[in-house]
Amino acid sequence: MATMALPRPATTAPRSLTRATGESRAVRWTLTAIALVFLALTLVLPLALVFHEAFSKGLAAYVAAIREPDALSAARLTLLIASIAVPINLVFGVAAAWCIAKFEFPGKNLLITLIDLPFAVSPVISGMIFVLLLGTNGWFGSWLQEHDIKIIFAVPGMVLATTFVTAPFIARELIPLMQEQGADEEEAAIVLGAGGWQTFFRITLPNIKWGLLYGLILCNARAMGEFGAVSVVSGHIRGETDTLPLHVEILYNEYAFAASFAVASVLTLLALVTLTLKTLVEWQQKRSASDAAEPARILERTVA
Amino acid sequence: MSIEVRNLRKTFGRFVALDDVSLKVPGGELVALLGPSGSGKTTLLRIIAGLEPADQGTIHFHGEDATEQPVRERQVGFVFQHYALFRHMSVFENVAFGLRVRPRRVRPSEAEIRESVMGLLHLVQLDVLSDRRPSELSGGQRQRVALARALAVKPKVLLLDEPFGALDAKVRKELRRWLRRLHEEVHVTSVFVTHDQEEALEVSDRVVIMNEGRVEQSGTPEEVYEHPATPFVYGFLGDVNLFHGRIHQGRVTIGESELDAPGWADARDQAGIAYVRTYEVELAPSPSNGTSLAAVVRHIRAFGPVVRLELDLLDGGRTIEAHIPRARFSALSLAKGQRVYVSPTNVRVFAEAP
């Protein structure tokens, strides 16, 4: 633009404002290019590679790899584990967030820290903890053996490990949201005669539904994709204690590359679906947030 | 229904929010709890509603002890400071909420709910906006929805926390008058919290003035304004000038001037503070035998029917404020820097706290 070079009158405030915080064109282009190249190398290229390798022996081999009995059993187990772990964490997450956001009690900070623990600990260590507690030589191992209860190297252990690793997702998503909303609406509902459950289902839940859905999607994605913790407690029995991520590793270690990538592509598709859903929910969340935005909403209650 | 509060005490950690508060609200009255922030007025309101438990003391509704009664059984209507409207519901559903959550056997039919909600929305002049969401309403409209919602359950007591606090000055004035009229119409015992003395005096039948967790005075607006019981009430209701002096045998000495101190005939050379309302002073161009204080005009704000003057007292150098009628101001033809003599027409003397 030719006008860019002209000295600007002082009245064009918005333009001089963007200049104050902006960068020169060269810097902007360079930074954008670096970001794009980085993304291409670390995200797009691996993603493309997964599908390229998966189809490297043709469509028939791809379908065969996915329909193979062990792969199907792994898929079933993955779904089973997620269908147990996710609801448990849904209940735990909502309950924990409700407690933390709406009430004051001693030990609240400790609870918040504990909720974050699974994020702070390496998943492999999480798995080890369960082995040490419940394994044959673990603290409760002999008791469990006496009563013929099998947890480690069996499905219950994998569910436990997955539940532990995915515990923070929903609570973490809801706590800031519920804290921001405060307890005013709940108090209003109770004064109007609503009971505890009525207040929860009619007031609290509608206000957090998008945040809750977002947390659920992330929690589910992690539950299906978890490798480290589940690997430690699974025992790798083909067709029995094998989830999709573990199955990918087994196939890879057996040099069945095309089959391995075919199964991996299923998980990748799951990731893409998750991302799409996540974006949709985020968009909805933003819409309902701006919908409900009250100007001059003061959060802290003074003891006036 | 009357409300009675006996010897209420409430602390938050080491902060004493309420310190032995007792209070009676006769049935059908509109009472204002007035005080600065931190005086415990909102805490008192929340305890009456049952939203907060008291550490000590009892609450009685219509003579019956309600201290242990849970919130949802108290049948109170509560209007929150920031309205707390249900953001995901329409105006209609907000007002209908209290009826819809009733147990099935006492729940009105859909037609009855519709009728009573629309009746209330008509009362608060919002019937045309019944389908809107709270976020689509102005502050004043939200306030009225909050009121209609609270009234929908036919409360025995209506409690309002800073009902006009978040509104601009013009809307406040309108809503104030409107609340007064509404109260005359529905006639439910109402308590509202405010820090605005004008609001309290204008709207209520009775004002309860609170400070630092205690009730300073309660009475009709005229009583508390004309006969403040404590220095705090004097200072809180209206603009006031303070003169530090000595009280002796019914007279108070301020600098070189002496004024009458009614009610202090027995005092013997005691430290005291004379309270003089800004409009209860007479200004004159010449001194009147020892009962006036010499001052210099420092600043003049001459808009409206009342002219406000800032005056520097000659002895002590303190600045006082005087409000005089415009006609008097013109007659005196005062100018900045000019000397005037101030004679209080009404003095209230309190002993200085030791």
**What residue spans define the domains of chain A?**
58-293
More confident position, A9 or B287: B287
* CB neighbour class for B121 (10 Å; exposed up to 12, middle 13-18, buried from 19): buried
Spatial CA neighbour of B136 closest among A203, A293, A182, A286:
A293
Spatial CA neighbour of A173 closest among A222, A238, A124, A104:
A222
Lowest mean pLDDT among B42-56, B210-224, B234-248: B234-248
* Nearest CB partner across the interface for A193, out of B86, B98, B135: B98
Neighbours of B142 (CB within 10 A): 23
The residue-averaged pLDDT of A273-277 equals: 89
* Minimal-distance CA residue of chain A relative to B146: A188
Checking A116-120 for CB contacts under 8 A at 24+ apart, the result is A116/A168, A116/A172, A117/A168, A118/A164, A118/A165, A118/A166, A118/A167, A118/A168, A119/A168, A119/A172
> Rounded CA gap, A120 and B36, in Å?
47
Q: Are B278 and B322 in contact (CB under 8 A)?
A: yes
> Rounded CA gap, B187 and A219, in Å?
54
Spatial CA neighbour of A303 closest among B4, B52, B261, B154:
B52
Spatial CA neighbour of A193 closest among B50, B44, B130:
B50
- Which residue of A184, A185, A192 to mutate against B (max B Cβ within 10 Å)? A192
pLDDT (0 to 100) of residue A298: 36
pLDDT at B224 over 70: yes
The set of residues, in sequence order, having a beta carbon less than 8 Å from that of A14 and lying 6+ positions away, is none
Lowest mean pLDDT among A16-20, A260-264, B113-117, B229-233: A16-20
pLDDT-derived band at B182, boundaries 50, 70, 90: confident
pLDDT at A302 over 50: no
Residues of B with a Cβ under 8 Å from any A Cβ are: 12, 15, 17, 35, 37-43, 49-51, 71-72, 76-78, 80, 82, 84-88, 97-98, 101-102, 133-135, 149-150, 152-153, 162, 166, 193, 195
* CB neighbour class for A197 (10 Å; exposed up to 12, middle 13-18, buried from 19): exposed
**Which H or E run includes A108?**
helix A108-120
> Rounded CA gap, A169 and A219, in Å?
5
**Which H or E run includes A142?**
helix A141-146
Model pTM score: 0.78
pLDDT (0 to 100) of residue B55: 94
Task: Render pLDDT for A7-21 as a digit per residue (tens, 0 to 9).
Answer: 444 444 455 455 666
> Rounded CA gap, A292 and B83, in Å?
13
Tokens of A233: 């407690």
Please judge whether B80 and A298 are an interchain contact, meaning their C-beta atoms are less than 8 angstroms apart: no
* Nearest CB partner across the interface for A303, out of B43, B149, B162: B43
> Rounded CA gap, B195 and A45, in Å?
64
Going from the C-alpha of B326 to that of each of B279, B309, B332, the distances in angstroms are: 12, 11, 10
State residue B293 phi and psi, 5-degree precision: -110, 130
* Minimal-distance CA residue of chain A relative to B36: A304
Please judge whether A188 and B78 are an interchain contact, meaning their C-beta atoms are less than 8 angstroms apart: yes
The set of residues, in sequence order, having a beta carbon less than 8 Å from that of B105 and lying 6+ positions away, is none
The set of residues, in sequence order, having a beta carbon less than 8 Å from that of A231 and lying 6+ positions away, is A124, A127, A245, A246, A249
> Rounded CA gap, B241 and B276, in Å?
5
pLDDT-derived band at A299, boundaries 50, 70, 90: very low
> Rounded CA gap, A53 and B168, in Å?
67
The set of residues, in sequence order, having a beta carbon less than 8 Å from that of A151 and lying 6+ positions away, is A130, A134, A144, A157, A160
Render B241-275 in DSSP notation, one character per residue.
EEEEEEEETTEEEETTEEEE-TT-TT--SEEEEEE
Q: Are B161 and B81 in contact (CB under 8 A)?
A: yes
Q: Which amino acid is residue B129, in one-letter code?
A: L
pLDDT (0 to 100) of residue A300: 33
State residue A85 phi and psi, 5-degree precision: -65, -40
Task: Render pLDDT for A221-270 as a digit per residue (tens, 0 to 9).
Answer: 999 999 999 999 888 888 788 899 999 999 999 998 888 999 999 999 98
Spatial CA neighbour of A102 closest among A208, A218, A193, A219:
A208
**Which H or E run includes B125?**
none
3-state secondary structure of B321: strand
Task: Render pLDDT for A169-214 as a digit per residue (tens, 0 to 9).
Answer: 999 999 999 999 888 999 999 999 999 899 999 999 999 998 999 9
pLDDT at B189 over 90: yes
Q: To the nearest whole angstrom, how far is the Cα of B311 from the nearest Cα of chain A?
A: 34
pLDDT (0 to 100) of residue B78: 95
The residue-averaged pLDDT of B7-22 equals: 92
Q: Are B195 and B35 in contact (CB under 8 A)?
A: yes
More confident position, B289 or B52: B52
> In the 3-class helix/strand/coil scheme, how is A77-103 assigned residue by residue?
HHHHHHHHHHHHHHHHHHHHHHHHHHC
Please judge whether B86 and A188 are an interchain contact, meaning their C-beta atoms are less than 8 angstroms apart: yes
Please judge whether A191 and B76 are an interchain contact, meaning their C-beta atoms are less than 8 angstroms apart: yes
> Rounded CA gap, B249 and B263, in Å?
10
E strand residue ranges, chain B:
3-12, 15-25, 30-34, 56-61, 64-65, 76-79, 157-161, 189-194, 206-211, 214-219, 240-248, 251-254, 257-260, 270-277, 281-284, 293-301, 306-313, 319-325, 339-344, 348-351
- Cβ-Cβ contacts under 8 Å between A and B: the total is 97
pLDDT (0 to 100) of residue A289: 67
Lowest mean pLDDT among A64-68, B198-202, B313-317: B313-317
- The complex's ipTM works out to 0.81
Residues of A with a Cβ under 8 Å from any B Cβ are: 184-185, 187-195, 198, 202-203, 206-207, 288, 291-294, 296-298, 301-304
The residue-averaged pLDDT of B42-49 equals: 94
* CATH 1.10.3720.10 for the A58-293 domain, yes or no: yes
Spatial CA neighbour of A89 closest among A186, A195, A174, A32:
A174
pLDDT-derived band at B84, boundaries 50, 70, 90: very high
* Nearest CB partner across the interface for A190, out of B41, B72, B193: B72
- Residues in chain B closer than 8 A to A293 (CB atoms): 135
Spatial CA neighbour of B65 closest among B55, B76, B77, B57:
B57
> Rounded CA gap, A297 and A301, in Å?
11
Spatial CA neighbour of A52 closest among A264, A271, A247, A250:
A264
Q: What angle do CA B249, B254, B255 make, to 5 degrees?
A: 125
Q: Are A274 and A221 in contact (CB under 8 A)?
A: yes
Average pLDDT score over chain A: 85
Q: Are A84 and A159 in contact (CB under 8 A)?
A: yes
pLDDT (0 to 100) of residue A291: 57
Q: Are B1 and B62 in contact (CB under 8 A)?
A: yes
> Rounded CA gap, A244 and A234, in Å?
12
Task: Render pLDDT for A125-163 as a digit per residue (tens, 0 to 9).
Answer: 999 989 988 888 888 888 888 888 888 888 999 999 999
Q: Are B10 and B47 in contact (CB under 8 A)?
A: yes
Spatial CA neighbour of B185 closest among B141, B120, B130, B139:
B120
Q: Which amino acid is residue B148, in one-letter code?
A: A
3-state secondary structure of A168: helix
